[in-house]
Amino acid sequence: MGALQRPCLTANNMTSPSVSQKSLTLKQIFAPVADGISSIDEALRGIATLDYPIVRGSVEAIIAAGGKRLRPAILFLCARFYNYDLEKLVPMAAAIELLHTASLVHDDTIDNALVRRGLPTLNSILDEGTTVLVGDFLFAKSAVLSTMGGKMRATRIFAESLVTISEGEIEQKFSSHHMTATVDQYYKRIYSKTAVLFAGAGEIGAVVADAPEDAIQRLRFYSKQIGMAFQVVDDILDVQSTAERIGKPTGGDLRQGTVTLPTFFYLENATQAEQDDLIRVIEGVDRSDAAVNQVLARINASDAVTRAADVARSFVEEAKAAIADLPDVPARRSLLDLADFVIQREY
Ligand code: FPP
Ligand code: MG
């Protein structure tokens, strides 16, 4: 259960994250913790306490736009096996979701992204300095909430996750626009930017619910592997999907000079001329729409997406195996279904 285990690539018949099997909706999957999920929506709505209408309105909008609420749901589901005390769990889940939102506010400012979740980003409405301050405000609120679970260990997991996320973002800043990164560095990067917060959510849920230590470790590992799979799928959708479906422009990683798993796999069998074209995009020599679209088309015509989907599948299989021996409560079924959702999702 190491922090950065690389999955063994398993052959299977999966050709994309979207497979034919009909998947459950998130609402169905989250049913055992529906009370927790609706409570965090309420807790988050109370966050936009700023007096300035334009700032308050924007903050309310990004909170209301929500996302899939995967991290809070994982926190609640991991707690559901043991002492499911919403008074302690709701602030912790809100803290995790708010930290995630704050990091996206900062990330969109750094990336100059104009659209997220189908809505204009804060940095497209406010000036850069104000946007950073709003991100800081959301982060500060999340830090206060993180102390309310009644467990110092839970607050420490929250703080340590933030350290890892920030380190990862700094590292990504220094490694983008270069073709020198390796696949192992890619796994380390997606752990830092995504999986660590999923892992933290699962662990915090289990810790606050007084789970036995072995179960805490299993639930953390499950959550981490789900986070890894989630990010691999995100990176597949970035090369494969449509902007309307994922709520942000596609090809964003290439345009930002970030090399993701499908691109690594594509490169392995690309001709020298194809590699040169890709390097010109990554290094920013030619980042025209035509150049980006040509590389995207080539990646999609190769086996890179299938191979990346296999990797996502293997992370999910490891996640499921980790919770196989936990008590057979409805939350365990939900975690197994959530694992399937993560690799079948199209948005
Ligand atoms: C998205 O990456 C980025 C993150 C999930 C993490 C960003 C973290 C920070 C900016 C540090 C946060 C610090 C504080 C204090 C809150 P991406 O750009 O690859 O994904 P995207 O396509 O969704 O934008
Ligand atoms: Mg970004």
Which residue, by CA, sits nearest to atom 8 of ligand 1?
A: 103
| The two structure tokens encoding residue 278 | 């890709």
| The two structure tokens encoding residue 339 | 């694992």
3-state secondary structure of 119: strand
Q: Which atom of ligand 1 sits closest to the CA of residue 108?
A: 24
3-state secondary structure of 120: strand
End-to-end CA distance of the chain: 29
Q: Which atom of ligand 1 sits closest to the CA of residue 258?
A: 19
**Cα 196 to middle of ligand 1, angstroms:** 12
Q: 107 CB less than 6 Å from ligand 1?
A: yes
Q: 193 CB less than 6 Å from ligand 1?
A: yes
Q: Is 160 left (phi over 0), alpha (psi -120 to 50) or beta?
A: alpha
The residue ranges of the chain whose pLDDT is under 70 are 1-22, 66, 242-249, 347
pLDDT at 246: 67
**CA–centroid distance for 55 within its chain:** 25
For residue 103, give every residue at least 6 positions away whose Cβ sits within 8 Å of its Cβ, in sequence order, or none: 135, 139, 165, 169
pTM over 0.95: no
Name the nearest CA neighbour of 239 among 279, 160, 161, 297.
297
**Cα 336 to middle of ligand 1, angstroms:** 27
Q: 97 CB less than 6 Å from ligand 1?
A: no
Q: 288 CB less than 6 Å from ligand 1?
A: no
Cβ neighbourhood burial of 42 (10 Å; 0-12, 13-18, 19+): exposed
